[in-house]
Structure 1
Amino acid sequence: MAQNNFVQQQHTRLVINKKPYHFIGTNMWYANLLAMPDNNGGDRKRLLKELDFLKQQGITNIRVLVGAQGQGKIVKGIQPVHPALQIAPGKYNNDLMDGMDFLLQQLQKRKMYGVFFFSNNWEWSGGFLQYMNWHNKIDDTTMARNFSWDENRDIVSRFYSCDNCIEDYRGFVKMILNHTNKLTGKKYIDEPGIMAWEIANEPRPMRPFAIEAYKDFLVKTSALVKSMDPNHLLTIGVEGYLGTETMQVFEDIHKDKNVDYATIHIWPKNWGWYKDSSFKDDFSTVVQKTTAYINEHAIVMQKIDKPLVVEEFGLPRDNFSFALNSPATFRNKYYGSVFSILNKSKKENAVIAGVNFWAFGGYAKPPKNKDPFWKEGDDLTGDPPMEEQGLNSVFAGDSATWKLIFKYAQLLK
């Protein structure tokens, strides 16, 4: 039986101690890397400073990468997140586990919760591509070059029919769930700082022919996680129907009794919802499409009687600037529109339980050189290595954004 300070699901609500839990959270995928021992590449001083800052702003929930896969070799022309937790099939980096232990201890101290995703559909943390590479489904040369979107879809879609790849992925999941925290003495399945496990970041079938194998992978993985850890929530980590091929697939995979709530991700830039960096002409369309996308998925979740979390959403700064002191006028308006939907859902006892904006950049300082992409030695920001550093990050100095976040966080209390 789950301890009563765990987050639980009751129909369309998330609850703690039988009281509804609504939250404004953030994506802080790099938290485990900062949490590593300082003498092995971590920066615990920065981590603690950032967790304290978030708590002060009313943020109670962060979404974190459990750990990357691979050795940090170039993938699709970029250097993925490293050091990796899974350096080879069945081989793990203990410094990352020490970091996870420390992070969970610190979340518990602050009465904050983490959502932890096991792997990634995308190359920036190795993820499914790395499992394919380890089992000779994609060679090193292809892996390193910036291959096309169609090639990417062809390769990743075969992950779901690669038995050895899936076996390695599930071995990684089992290792995490069996781990005992050295600092708290608790097994991870008993850690109160965990709100949920997530199968992967944005797992997609990638091609229609892979849908049935994709569903099979999700059903069996969900059953495995819940059999080992009945205390914590489980979600899949999808973007919504734009990542699952159809709304029917989205509905089908979330009907599973082992899946506690659904997620959606919203990316106006990637999805071509506006034409240029000024935002002015298209901003109302962006808000309209965002609202519609949330509402469409909320209707489905009402039908299957489970909560919905808007787990990623973001917008660049004005004129796509990466400078720390540049304004984020339209981003703030956009955030406000999403926060107001959450607040309305709370008032109406509807299905939307929380939001996690993408992403927290904390006290990082993005590179000032002409190349905005991450290089060895740069601070980690909310933008992963494949994206321009500072593009979607909210830094500690973005006072107007934090004023807005704090306002809505208080309304949710």
Structure 2
Amino acid sequence: MKISLFIAPCLAQFALSQTGNWGQCGGENWSGDVNCNVGWLCQYSNPWYSQCVPESDSSTASGSSTSATSTTFSTSASTTSTSTTSTTSSAPSSTTTTSSSPSGYPHTSGTKFVIDGVEGYYAGTNAYWISFLTNNADVDLVMSHLQSSGMKFLRVWGFNDVNSQPNSGTVWFQLLENGSATINTGSDGLERLDYVVQSAEAHDIKLIINFVNNWGDYGGIAAYVNNYGGSATSWYTNSAAQSAYQNYIKAVVSRYPTSPAIFAWELANEPRCNGCATSVITNWVSATSQYIKSIDPNRMVAIGSEGMGLATGSDGSYPFGYSEGNDFEATLAISTIDFGTIHLYPSQWGEADSWGTSWIQAHGVACNNAGKPCLLEEYGSSSHCSSEAPWQAAAIDSLAADSFWQWGDDLGSGDTPNDEYSIFYGSSDYTCLVTNHVAAI
């Protein structure tokens, strides 16, 4: 979610092969282009996936090893020593689940989700800030309230990018500085995300973990641009930025190889490429989701997009259009994307709240056509109950799950971040949008 719209000029596109940089170029049953652009070559990763990588990087990457990189990559900050491949203490260490038997993890069944072996409609919420809390008791308090409320999953930020190292005690996950990337795996770094995963396991909450922000909050794409150059639109094809981004993804994914708390990995929060051909984001989604599947084939992967760019049920309004570089149906059709995501903020898009029901229904048709579940992943109105309750009802009829933006709670030391959409635990809006909604499900 972002209150202000971010608009950036799109760079002129160069002539490319059908397979874009970082795109798939081979593998079992692959019927697409096997040629890469000049300066790139097709490198084998596993029997079902080969990827176009820079020629200069091919000597340092092979098979299932760390992805090719054209930048200096450090696996830990100078103030930390924790391994990037460590897992939370409560994650099972001796259990292995193969891709042919994913039933122990959340997965899809047609247009529905299956969690803990149960197929059905599920309710959740967002708490981007929970991985930045420094008090474990605060994390546990929120998780316990979610559990008692009947919420089943929680979407959190798995990123916190900076361009200069903060003072001690400030939480940050990745330092992008002087053309290199340093991942902080210590107590003020990814150990904070570790505890969120551990607490989610203890409270039977499933997590959607997002890897980068389209917006400037907590670094996001802007932090990569500051370090590697280019712009917010060229980021999707910037080899150095994508290399660092994929290395970061692998560092996070590798921490939780068997955790039952992972609902899905998510590429980005609200990716946009204003004015670009939709192929830019579509190719990036294909390449990145395939990369994630190559290192973790058992977990679901989603985009984190808003649902923009949809012809089915379109009324011609801005959100249905393609100006932000998104094609909802094209990206939903990618085989390594397990479900669709939809966001809903009518007031930010110049629409009335009542318009939201048609937005949900149109996407429901598109999701059914694709044979995949879709999640109303973010939604909010300053009117709260009167506007959002009808959206929830429409989602139950048309989609597979919903998660409102955002969860609010009293941590004792103060309230969690409060924007105009926050729904605080125990409030009257909470009764309407959580208690009553869960009962309706």
TM-score in same-fold range (> 0.5): yes
Q: Secondary structure at the match of 1:24?
A: strand
After superposition, the Cα gap between the structure-2 partners of 1:265 and 1:404, relative to the gap in structure 1 and judged at 3 Å, is closer
Q: CA RMSD in A?
A: 2.4
Residue 140 (structure 1) aligns with: none
Does residue 311 (structure 1) correspond to residue 374 (structure 2)? The answer is no
196, 208, 227: which one pairs with 1:115?
Answer: 208
Residue 364 (structure 2) aligns with: 298
Preserved CA contact (<8 Å) 1:69 1:85: yes
Alignment of 1:3-402 (within 5 A): 3-16=102-115, 18-34=117-133, 42-71=134-163, 83-88=171-176, 89-94=180-185, 95=187, 96-137=189-230, 155-179=231-255, 188-209=256-277, 211-241=278-308, 242=319, 245=322, 249-273=327-351, 285-287=352-354, 289-316=355-382, 330-345=383-398, 352-363=399-410, 380-381=416-417, 389-402=418-431
Preserved CA contact (<8 Å) 2:104 2:117: no
Per-residue deviation, 1:400: 3.9
Per-residue deviation, 1:68: 1.2
2:226 is aligned with what amino acid? N
Distance in structure 2 (CA, Å) of the matches to 1:167 and 1:7: 28
Distance in structure 1 (CA, Å) of the matches to 2:326 and 2:421: 31
Per-residue deviation, 1:72: 6.9
Preserved CA contact (<8 Å) 1:90 1:171: no
The number of equivalent residue pairs is 323
Distance in structure 2 (CA, Å) of the matches to 1:168 and 1:223: 16
Preserved CA contact (<8 Å) 2:206 2:263: yes
Distance in structure 1 (CA, Å) of the matches to 2:243 and 2:433: 44
- Unaligned 5+ segments in structure 1 are 35-41, 75-81, 138-154, 180-187, 274-284, 317-329, 346-351, 366-376, 382-388
Residue 410 (structure 1) aligns with: 439
2:198 is aligned with what amino acid? Q
Q: Secondary structure at the match of 1:123?
A: coil
Per-residue deviation, 1:401: 2.5
Structure with greater helix percent: 1
Question: Structure 2 length as normaliser, TM-score?
Answer: 0.69
Per-residue deviation, 1:93: 1.8
Deviations 1:255-299 (A, max 9, x none): 1110000001011221122xxxxxxxxxxx422x10111111111
Distance in structure 2 (CA, Å) of the matches to 1:92 and 1:258: 26
Q: Secondary structure at the match of 2:128?
A: coil
- Unaligned 5+ segments in structure 2 are 1-97, 309-318
Distance in structure 2 (CA, Å) of the matches to 1:158 and 1:261: 26
After superposition, the Cα gap between the structure-2 partners of 1:110 and 1:249, relative to the gap in structure 1 and judged at 3 Å, is same
Deviations 1:172-199 (A, max 9, x none): 01111222xxxxxxxx131110100000
After superposition, the Cα gap between the structure-2 partners of 1:111 and 1:309, relative to the gap in structure 1 and judged at 3 Å, is same
Deviations 1:206-248 (A, max 9, x none): 2224x32322211110100011111111000100123872798
Preserved CA contact (<8 Å) 1:69 1:130: yes
Deviations 1:26-67 (A, max 9, x none): 110111112xxxxxxx02222211111121111111100002
